[in-house]
């Protein structure tokens, strides 16, 4: 079996923390040939898809072979693990990977779903599970929502890892000026949500594989911040899923499977759904370390089972 991982440049990946590294190493332990490439390495020749890819031995990190021009149909599975932003290069790559999908290759996650499921807007499919939320570019509507809710968070729709997320109250001086700034003078929509003070006790990342929750980690904000993302200083903690969190997973899982979203990370605050992360979900290393479970191996075993 051969699997291709579409990644950021390999030099940027920290194997101690990176979920892609964990998955590559688990695939190697399962006797899978592991290959890597970056977005510029993807090609289409007529109706066939290709990549300039390199074979690797990811354990110990990392021995890379000579790059070769490979037809994508020769891989059993392709992991699209390029980190956001979801920019033009990312979107064009999903179209190239869709050619491979038409040729019969399993692409994770499905290219069409990567385009359709913005990690902020995707959760709106389950708005009844979320805090009160508005997406708009109109300052007057955003300000009215803030006044109604009292305290809110502003989230840029293209942000990642907590970047650009702002907490404000309806009485904050300069609120309308801030809204003008984050909407680029009412050109771009942003998400505004009621602030959940329970986030100070943690924001739970739950990892779902083929719709099944296989691991979770609680992320507690650092002192002086409300953002719990590990990339901005959040601290991972051991956790277990509550009955409510299992209910959330049960409700969204059939939709994820139907859309070809094999590996997904959802964020839940005090039983309230916050985001659905589909591009390159993280948290595998933290779950493995805190829960002492071989999560990456379980993910690869699940994938191999679904391919057979």
CB 75 within 8 A of CB 3: yes
- Is 277 catalytic? The answer is yes
- Per-residue pLDDT of the chain (308 residues), as tens digits, is 999 999 999 999 999 999 999 999 999 999 999 999 999 999 999 999 999 999 999 999 999 999 999 999 999 999 999 999 999 999 999 999 999 999 999 999 999 999 999 989 999 999 999 999 999 999 999 999 999 999 999 999 987 666 778 899 887 888 999 999 999 999 999 999 999 999 989 999 999 999 999 999 999 987 767 776 776 667 889 999 999 999 999 999 999 999 999 999 999 999 999 999 999 999 999 999 999 999 999 999 999 999 87
Q: Give me the catalytic one of 81, 106, 110, 155.
A: 155
- Is 288 catalytic? The answer is no
- Is 109 catalytic? The answer is no
Whole-prediction pTM value?
Answer: 0.93
- Is 204 catalytic? The answer is no
- List the Cα angle 223/227/233 in 5-degree steps: 60
Q: Give me the catalytic one of 109, 218, 229, 277.
A: 277
- Is 267 catalytic? The answer is yes
Q: Give me the catalytic one of 275, 285, 286, 288.
A: 275
- List the Cα angle 257/218/30 in 5-degree steps: 50
- Is 125 catalytic? The answer is no
């Amino acid at each position: 079996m051969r699997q291709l991982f579409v990644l950021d440049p390999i030099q940027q990946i920290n194997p101690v923390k990176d979920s892609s590294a964990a998955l590559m190493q688990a695939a190697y332990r399962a006797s899978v040939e592991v290959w890597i490439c970056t977005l510029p390495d993807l090609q289409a020749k007529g109706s066939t898809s290709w990549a300039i890819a390199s074979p690797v031995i990811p354990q110990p990190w990392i021995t890379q072979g000579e790059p070769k021009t490979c037809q994508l149909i020769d891989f059993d599975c392709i992991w699209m693990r390029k980190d956001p932003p979801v920019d033009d290069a990312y979107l064009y790559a999903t179209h190239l990977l869709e050619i491979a999908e038409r040729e019969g290759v399993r692409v994770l996650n499905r290219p069409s779903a990567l385009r359709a499921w913005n990690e902020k807007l995707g959760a709106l499919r389950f708005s009844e599970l979320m805090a009160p939320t508005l997406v708009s570019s109109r300052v007057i509507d955003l300000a009215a929502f803030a006044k109604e809710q009292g305290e809110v968070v502003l989230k840029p729709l293209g942000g990642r890892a907590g970047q650009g997320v702002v907490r404000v109250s309806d009485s904050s001086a300069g609120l309308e000026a801030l809204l003008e700034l984050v909407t680029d003078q009412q050109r771009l929509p942003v998400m505004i949500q009621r602030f959940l003070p329970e986030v100070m006790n943690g924001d739970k990342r739950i990892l779902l594989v083929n719709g099944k929750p296989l691991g979770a980690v609680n992320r507690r904000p650092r002192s002086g911040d409300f953002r719990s993302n590990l990339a901005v200083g959040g601290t991972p903690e051991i956790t277990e899923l509550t009955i409510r969190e299992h209910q959330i997973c049960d409700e969204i899982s059939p939709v994820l499977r139907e859309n070809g979203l094999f590996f997904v990370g959802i964020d839940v605050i005090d039983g309230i759904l916050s985001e659905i992360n589909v591009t390159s979900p993280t948290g595998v290393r933290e779950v493995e370390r805190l829960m002492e479970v071989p999560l990456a191996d379980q993910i690869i075993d699940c994938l191999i089972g679904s391919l057979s």
